[in-house]
Structure formats: structure tokens, C-alpha cells
Chain A
Amino acid sequence: MQKGLGVTGKRKLNTDKIFKIGATIAGAYVLVIIALMVFELLSESYPVWQEEGLGFITGTDWNPVEGRESFGALPYILGTLVTATLAMAIGVPLSIGIAMFLSDSPKSISEPLGFMVELLAAVPSVIYGLWGLFVFRNYFKDWIEVPLHNTFGDSVWFFSGTPFGLDIFTASIILAIMIIPTVSAVSREIMKAVPQQQKEAAYMLGATRWEMFKLAIFPYSKTGLIGASILGLGRAVGETMAVTMLIGNATGDSAIPQSLFKASQTMSSIIANEFIEASPASVHLPALVGVGLVLLITAICINVVAHLLVTRMLKVKEGIVNA
């Protein structure tokens, strides 16, 4: 029994089938790429795992010199975590403040201002680096870092070390600016998702705007806001160029984050700095690929957590509506 009907019956079915197959292949492309990528990263970095074992993640040596090769990525892992966490600590409160302002303002104000905040996301990382290097760094050093060091340098460990401006602190601040558009936009969406009735209930009791936030918006969107913050963390972890240009390029033991004013290195910046010079014949390249692998895993884990938190909050909202 023929499946298709009509004059072009047979051909009709084939073209559609080809279409479906083509679309499916395009869809599955991402799966293939991911699988291939993981495979390539693992196989290319294999030599360094073989050589250092888990010591690659816990070691702090970084010596590409032939004959004395030794690679430990811990300083860079710490560098990434420290800068990203600091960026989050500075950027998230600002982002939530921005979201609070924009989610509750009339369109005539929230649209232009919101647009400007979102434009921050359009600026390429390398330009943030350029600006940070030639403009921000000097002001920051003179107005904030040096005074802090002079006042607290001896007593507080993370203010020690003469500040030159290319350090963890500067890099983290620029990172904080870079994550603001994302965190504030997602937070804004989350706050706007709070049902109008909740806000009305708060206002009915005679609450001020801020009290309404405390009663209706924050308890409701807590989970989502945490998710948005972790999203910012994930963004900061993957950042490369701005950090590379501002973190001061230390390697090995001296890259271990010890003070806000000391140079350091992140996983992405060590790759950016050294990848081209690393010879594939040595273990240096596998080491850098290994760093890339660790970076990838870190970024994925953080983002999966963030994703779960944000979508969980939206599911909770639906649950309440259906109750």
C-alpha cells in the first residue's frame, strides 16, 4: 500500500524526509561538537595527567623549561575563583540595586536607563581591558589602592604589597562591571515575575515601596536572585581578555592569590598568555589544554547550578498560580 497520495506522492514524502533529517542533523550538531571537544581536550591533555596525575590540580609549580618541566594549575584555579568571587561580591549588590530600580520604574525611565546598562554587555572584553589598562587602573591605583595600602597594608593581609594597579583587585572590579548587565537583567526579569497580587497585598497593608520589596518581592524571588548571581559567577569565570590585560601575569608560586594588590593569573589568562609559545612536542601544551579542561568543567558546573535555580523559581511561580 503506497504511503503517499497524489501525483507527486513519492517525491513529496522524500523531500520532507530529507528536510527532517537535515534539521535533525543540524540539531544534533551541538551534541557532536561537545562530545568531540571533550574527547579532544582529554586526549591532548593526557600527557600532563599522566605526568602529574592529580597533582596537576593541587600543584603550584609552573615550569615549562625543558628538562625541568613541572606543571601545577592550582594558582590559576585559585586566581579564577578569587577574581570571580570578588567580582560577584561587588557586582551582584549593584545589579540587584539596578534591578530594584528598573523593575519598579515607569517605562519612560526604565527603558533608556535599562538600555544603557544592557549596552555594557555589548562592549568587547578587549576594550574593557584597554580602558582598564590606560584609564581606570591609574585612577583606581591612586585613589583607592594606595590609600588602602598605606592605611591597612601592615595590618590586613589582603592589603599588603605595593599596588601597581595590575592586580587581582583591579581585574575583579572590571569583571564586576562586566557581569552587571547579565545579573541585573536576569534579576529584573525575576522581580517582574512576582505576581501583581503579591505587591498589592503589601501595599494594601500600608507598606512603603521598600517594605513592599521586603514583603512581596524578595521572599518570592530569593532563589531566582541567587541563581542570577551564580550566573554572574559563571560569566566571570569564563572571562579572558580583560582579566589577562589587568591581572599582572604572574606564574607558578607567585601567582597564588595572596593579596588584592599582587599580580596573579587565572585559568583563562594563562592560556591566552602562553598558548602560542607552547610547543606541542613538550608537555607545556598539554598542560595548557589541561587548564582549559578544568576551566570548562568549572564553568559548566557553575552554570548548571545557576540554570537550575533560576528555572526552579519560575516553576515555583507556576505552582503557586495553579494552587
Chain B
Amino acid sequence: MTALSIRPQEVEANRDSVFKPEVIDEKYKMIAENVTVTYGGIPAIKNVSMKFKERTVTALIGPSGCGKTTFLRCLNRMHDMIKSAKVVGKVTIDGIDLYSKDIDPIYHRRKVGMVFQKPNPFPTMSIYDNVTAGLRLNGVRDRKILDEIVEDSLKMAYLWDEVKNDLKKPALELSGGQQQRVCIARALAIQPEVLLMDEPASALDPIATQKIEETITELKKEFTIIIVTHNMQQAVRVSDYTGFMYLGDLIEFRETKKLFTDPKNELTAKYVQGQFG
């Protein structure tokens, strides 16, 4: 079954399935309301609420331990993996509550891809297999489609030209920056709508970092991106909105330009001026 053979009726019939066709307008893709996360009773983030507009890049900044990664991981229910973590609050994507009991998280995780701090490609797999890993889970077998998506994803991750002749190479043989871009491609391959990135360039050298940032700027055209970063200049370069967190609270959330040039909160001002890290 190729892309061309899908008929309009099928698209209509699936309109109410988990994937909804996008509408390009200023709509909120993802909303977090009063999210509180506790680890074994100790709160890590308290009553954090944020709204993410479609096709924008939102940066989360703040000193180490402020809870930005914790918050990010709420957005695709990664805390389910940790036994002592408890998440209270509401996170919706296209209006659907991620934490509702009726829907298993694996439905939602297809919509929300994630890239981690340290590149973590599957070590025993080739580049190709890494990128298609998520697709195969979802039952996509058609070789032609897989090839298409692999090319598309690697192009989006700015890696296609470097590896297109070497797709069967083990992913571990690539450099750190390339491995990270494989991970980005892997996340993009399952056609998510939101992309979460947890300090994606912190383990990389400046040139690789620049490539990642270029990638993000391009990806913004299709996806909603939320990126955690400790690098303020990176936030300025790349994001439309920025949220500043401190000790588990969201202190300020505004358009990036405004937050950095004219912060409303004193703490924000101190942080962006580098008075504490």
C-alpha cells in the first residue's frame, strides 16, 4: 500500500482516531495544567502550567535541578518508568488528556517523540534499523515506504547526505553528533506531532551543536518542539517562546525576545544576566 492509494474517504473515516489532521492556525498543540511531580513524596515540580502553540519552538531554561527535565518528561509520560514518581495534573495534546486512564500511554507516545541528552541509538542495530525501529513496532512492513521514511527522516535530521550510502553501518560507528542526529531521525520517523528534546546538544562539540540547531529551525515548520537547554544563547537562537523554571516552579513564560531583553521577574533577570547558574 503506497501513500498514493489512500483515498479521501479513508482519511475522513479516521478523522476521529488518535491522529487528527492538522489545521494550520494559531492553536495550542499541547497544554499542561497544574502539573506536580513528586519522587517518593518529595516534590520536583509544583503546579507548572504551560501552553505550547503549534509549530513553535519553546525553550525551557533554568539552573540545574530546577525541574525542567522533569517537566519535559511529563509530556510523554516517561515518568511511568520510575516507580517512585507520581504525576498529578493534566497534560493534553489536541485536547486529549495524556493521563486519562482509558488510553494506554503507547498511543500517545507515537505523537510525542523524544531526543535525549546523550545519544542513545540501539547499539546492535544499523542506522537504517535504528530509524525504522518505531515504524516496525507500528506494523509498517512495506520496504518501499520504510525507505521513503528513512530518507525523509534522515534528511530532516541533516544526516542523509553523510550516511546515505552506508545505511547498513552499525549506528555506533558514527560520531557523537551523527549518533544524535540518528536519534532525531528515529524520533521523527514515527511522524510525531510534538518533538521533545532534552539538552540535545550538550554532549556534542560546537559544530555538531550548530547542525542540531539548524535542524531544529527547519523542523519547526512541521513540528511543535519543546527543548530543554542550559545554554541561554541557544535558547535565544532557536526558540520562539521560553519558560524559565527555578526550584520546581515556573517563574516566567513569554516570547523569547521579551523574556531575555525585558524580563518581568527579578529572578529571571538575575538568571539571564548570569548571576547564578
Q: A residues bordering B, Cβ < 8 Å?
A: 106-107, 195, 197-208, 211, 215-216, 219-220, 222, 320, 323
Q: How distant is the Cα of A101 from the Cα of B232 in the complex, in angstroms?
A: 44
Identify 26 residue pairs between A and B in the complex whose beta-carbon atoms are under 8 Å apart, listed by A's number: A107-B83, A197-B116, A198-B120, A198-B122, A199-B81, A200-B116, A201-B186, A203-B80, A203-B81, A204-B78, A204-B113, A204-B116, A205-B109, A205-B133, A205-B134, A205-B186, A205-B190, A206-B106, A206-B134, A207-B137, A215-B122, A215-B137, A219-B123, A219-B125, A320-B123, A320-B172
Residues of chain B contacted by A216 (CB below 8 angstroms): 122
Q: In the complex the two chains form, is B114's CB within 8 Å of A204's CB? A: yes
Q: How distant is the Cα of A202 from the Cα of B122 in the complex, in angstroms?
A: 9
The answer to whether residues A203 and B120 also contact, given A106-B83, A208-B106, A219-B125 and a CB cut-off of 8 A, is no
B5 close to chain A: CB less than 8 A: no
Q: In the complex the two chains form, is B109's CB within 8 Å of A204's CB? A: yes
Give which listed residue, B106, B122, B183, B186, contacts A219 with CB less than 8 A: B122
Q: How distant is the Cα of A215 from the Cα of B113 in the complex, in angstroms?
A: 17
Q: In the complex the two chains form, is A200's CB within 8 Å of B120's CB? A: yes
B227 close to chain A: CB less than 8 A: no
Q: How distant is the Cα of A219 from the Cα of B110 in the complex, in angstroms?
A: 23
Q: How distant is the Cα of A203 from the Cα of B73 in the complex, in angstroms?
A: 12
Q: In the complex the two chains form, is B76's CB within 8 Å of A204's CB? A: yes
Q: In the complex the two chains form, is B116's CB within 8 Å of A207's CB? A: no
The answer to whether residues A206 and B172 also contact, given A197-B116, A219-B124 and a CB cut-off of 8 A, is no
Q: How distant is the Cα of A211 from the Cα of B137 in the complex, in angstroms?
A: 8
Q: In the complex the two chains form, is A201's CB within 8 Å of B110's CB? A: no
Residues of chain A contacted by B78 (CB below 8 angstroms): 200, 203-204
Known: A107-B83, A207-B137. 11 other contacts (CB 8 A): A198-B123, A200-B120, A203-B78, A204-B76, A204-B109, A204-B113, A205-B110, A205-B187, A211-B137, A215-B133, A219-B124
Q: How distant is the Cα of A106 from the Cα of B108 in the complex, in angstroms?
A: 24
B155 close to chain A: CB less than 8 A: no
Q: How distant is the Cα of A222 from the Cα of B122 in the complex, in angstroms?
A: 14
Q: How distant is the Cα of A219 from the Cα of B67 in the complex, in angstroms?
A: 33
Q: How distant is the Cα of A203 from the Cα of B114 in the complex, in angstroms?
A: 10
Residues of chain A contacted by B190 (CB below 8 angstroms): 205-206
B118 close to chain A: CB less than 8 A: yes
Residues of chain A contacted by B124 (CB below 8 angstroms): 219-220, 222
Most buried by B among A203, A204, A211, A320: A204
In chain B, positions 173-200 with a C-beta closer than 8 Å to chain A are 183, 186-187, 190
Q: In the complex the two chains form, is A197's CB within 8 Å of B137's CB? A: no
- Chain A nearest CB from B68 CB (Å) reads 17
- Chain B nearest CB from A113 CB (Å) reads 16
Q: How distant is the Cα of A62 from the Cα of B169 in the complex, in angstroms?
A: 57
Q: How distant is the Cα of A220 from the Cα of B125 in the complex, in angstroms?
A: 10
Residues of chain B contacted by A201 (CB below 8 angstroms): 116, 120-122, 183, 186
Q: In the complex the two chains form, is A206's CB within 8 Å of B110's CB? A: yes
- Chain B nearest CB from A108 CB (Å) reads 9
Residues of chain B contacted by A215 (CB below 8 angstroms): 122, 133, 137
Give which listed residue, B81, B110, B113, B134, contacts A200 with CB less than 8 A: B81
CB-based nearest A residue for B121: A201
CB-based nearest B residue for A211: B137
Q: What string of 1s and 0s marks CB contacts (under 8 Å) between B73-112 and chain A?
A: 0001010110100000000000000000000011111100
